């Protein structure tokens, strides 16, 4: 099974997604986890700067994955704003 999470929320929410992927993989219910985040929320939500405080984004997702050392397959996808 493939599980997809689109995260336009906080870094904490993204971390919970990663933990969910790990648990599902451990229980043999997950072959691949896909996490989709913005590359640069500040640019995408330039008109709402206060709303992006603490928002998950691509670089922090990469650093988080490396720091916690997940041993399950996760494909990280970054969406770039084209405005």
- Measured CA to CA, the distance from residue 40 to residue 4 in angstroms comes to 20
Dump pLDDT digits (tens) for 2-13: 999 999 888 899
Residue ranges of the alpha helices (H) in 1-83? Answer: 11-26, 41-44, 58-68
Distance set, CA 6 to CA 14, 15, 27, 69 (Å): 9, 12, 22, 21
- Measured CA to CA, the distance from residue 57 to residue 42 in angstroms comes to 10
**What is the pLDDT, as a whole number, of residue 18?**
94
Q: Residue 43 above 80 pLDDT?
A: no
Residue-range domain boundaries for the chain: 2-79
Q: Does domain 2-79 have CATH number 3.40.91.20?
A: yes
Distance set, CA 77 to CA 38, 62, 72 (Å): 8, 10, 16
**What is the pLDDT, as a whole number, of residue 83?**
58
């Amino acid at each position: 099974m493939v599980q997809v999470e689109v995260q336009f929320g906080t870094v904490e929410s993204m971390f919970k997604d990663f933990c969910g992927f790990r648990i599902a993989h451990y229980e043999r219910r997950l072959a691949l986890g896909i996490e989709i985040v913005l590359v640069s929320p500040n640019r995408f939500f330039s008109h709402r700067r206060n709303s992006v405080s603490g928002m998950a984004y691509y670089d922090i997702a990469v650093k988080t994955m490396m720091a916690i050392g997940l041993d399950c397959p996760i494909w990280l996808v970054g969406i770039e704003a084209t405005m």
